[in-house]
Structure 1
Amino acid sequence: MEAKLVAPMPYQRILLKMSGEALGDPATGHGIDPPAVQKIARQVARVVELGIEVAMVVGGGNILRGAEFSQLGGHRVNADYMGMLGTVINALAMSDALESAGLETRVMTALDIRQVAEPFVRRRAERHLSRGRVVILGAGTGNPFFTTDSAAALRASELGCSVLLKATKVDGIYSADPKKDPTATRYERLSFEEAIVKNLKVMDGTAMSMCRDHGIPVIVFDMFQEGNLERVVRGETIGTIVTTTGEA
């Protein structure tokens, strides 16, 4: 599908970060659920039709979490590499769903797995994006001890993305877990410093610092409500935006 710009958008190139559980069974978050993946693909397709360039980072928690596996006795480094391979599986599943929706995609990985994906090369990724292809970035940073949030912040910085969109199952950032604390309040805007000082766990500290240092705003929003991704890229106030100053 060739991207056609229909109107000026606030964000021309986005990095969409979502958890592996978003692709999994709705009840458990495990495995890969084709309807869930297809629902995401439909939302991404509508955004590409607006002329937005889309890069994606998908976690691997629906298959394996390296940190949790290591706590069961596995070596942390091996466990993290296993988790990276889980993200590649998810990237391939996402690629198939997007192409079924009529999009062109490229899977690029931080680990060299040439039989199934291209190695990540910044200039090549930028060329794919400029041609309207959705670039799905797998295998995290390619290094143990780093989360896929850090990978998303890194790739957003490298590719010059104008925003990092973190898709979650809640409608923004709250002062506490709204499922556990009925008095929790939702923030509409925050600065990176506020999010870090208040320990709001938007993303890990490395990812937050990188976005702050490169001036990349982070928007945390509920992507599981159909149409929300399009609303965000059109500039509607959806979820919580985190910026250097906390202002628009």
Structure 2
Amino acid sequence: MARREDQGGRQPGRWQYRPIRASLRRRLNALSQDPIREIPQGTRKARWDRILLKMSGEAFAGETPYGIDGATVAKLADNIVAVRQEFSVEIAVVVGGGNIWRGMAGAGAGMDRAQADYMGMLATVMNALALQDVLERRGVPTRVQSAIHMAQVAEPYIRRKAVRHLEKGRVVIFGGGTGNPFFTTDTTAALRAVEIEAGAVLKGTHSGTDGIYTADPRTNPDATKLETVTYQQVLSDGLKAMDTTAIALCMDNDLPIVMFDLMGPGNVQSLLAGESVGTLVS
């Protein structure tokens, strides 16, 4: 039986929905458009074409003893934004989780070390997501990759994909540590830097020190800052830079490390401009 059509040749019960569908499509398209304008990347030549920036978890807490301080994370993100606006440089970031949980502390309290370390890895992902949120609200395309599979919140760590993101001008934040217990985020920074072929590891400190000293300058007024130091010196003299695994990995791959004050204004820009900031380990 043929379907009845109206005088205009249209089947009843269909034409009246078309304006509604068109209106719905317009609303969905408006919602899908990113209202945040992407910030263009700078063109100034940097000292290194690709860097890995190591941020300690404690830096995310700011002046508070625990957790994530929004104003401090915003300041950390603004530093990255300023660098990206000025320089043509690819930026990867490794974040710690000590502002939320430290595996060593849990193990010291009687927990199984591996279990405590996994908790610390989850804390690093929380910091990574916090930093990503602020960066993207400032117009910086960002990807979080986790060494622990959690597809709902982060991409899995895939080296080739991370490099591709960097080549497209995106900031890549590595969370989840190495994905294995008994390894620090310093080692994660060294490992990821070697994997993505970064030109240097820039380790930002948050404790007010601006490099490597012969002793703790906060407690020893005779402590002397070292402008340059070798990997062997760090290992043999027990200087507080990165853990021995991270130092050895950088030494084996001839990857320079710069220790500097993360919260110092313009420090990363000065480093990329070739100025002497902090302590160079090479």
The alignment status of 1:36 with 2:36, answered yes or no, reads: no
Match of 1:59 in 2: 96
Residues 165, 3 of structure 1: CA spacing in aligned structure 2 closer, same or farther, 3 A cutoff? farther
Matched with 1:236 is 275
CA distance in 2, matches of 1:127, 1:43: 23
1:227 is aligned to 2:266: yes
Residue equivalent to 1:189: 228
RMSD: 1.0
- Which residue is 2:172 aligned to? 135
- Which residue matches 2:201? 164
For structure 2, the residue ranges without an aligned partner over 5 or more in a row are: 1-37
Counterpart residue type for residue 80 of structure 2: V
Which deviates further from its counterpart, 155-164 or 18-27?
18-27
Cα deviation digits, residues 116-167 of structure 1 (max 9, x gap): 0000000000000011100000000000000000000000000000000000
Measure, in 2, the Cα distance between the counterparts of 1:160 and 1:32.
30
User: Match for residue 75 of structure 1?
Assistant: 112
Which residue of 175, 183, 186 corresponds with 1:146?
183
SS of residue in 2 equivalent to 1:42 = helix
Q: Secondary structure at the match of 1:17?
A: strand
- 1:208 paired residue number: 247
Q: Is the 8 A contact 2:47 2:271 kept in 1?
A: no
User: Residue 134 of structure 2: which of 97, 100, 103 is its match?
Assistant: 97
Q: Give the structure 1 partner of residue 125 of structure 2.
A: 88
Contact 1:48 1:132 in 2 (8 A): no
Deviations 1:12-68 (A, max 9, x none): 10000011011103142x200011000010110111221110000010000000011
Matched residue, 1:120: 157
**Count of matched residue pairs:** 242
Match of 1:14 in 2: 51
Q: Taking every aligned residue pair, what percent have the same amino acid on both sides?
A: 48
**SS where residue 48 of structure 2 aligns?**
coil
Give the Cα–Cα distance (whole angstroms) in 2 for the partners of residues 134 and 95 of structure 1: 9
TM-score norm. by structure 2 comes to: 0.84
Cα distance in 2, alignment partners of residues 180 and 47 from structure 1:
33
Instruction: Find the partner of 1:178 among 206, 210, 217.
Output: 217
- 2: CA distance, partners of 1:71 / 1:145: 13
Distance in 1 between residues matched to 2:56 and 2:41, nearest whole Å: 28
SS at match of 1:8: strand
CA contact (8 A) 1:2 1:132 kept: no
Q: Secondary structure at the match of 1:221?
A: strand
Aligned match of 2:10: none
Matches of 1:25 and 1:186, distance apart in 2: 24
- TM-superposed CA distance for 1:4, in Å, is 3.5
Any unmatched runs of 5+ in structure 1? 244-248
Name the CA distance, whole Å, in 2 between partners of 1:221 and 1:25.
17
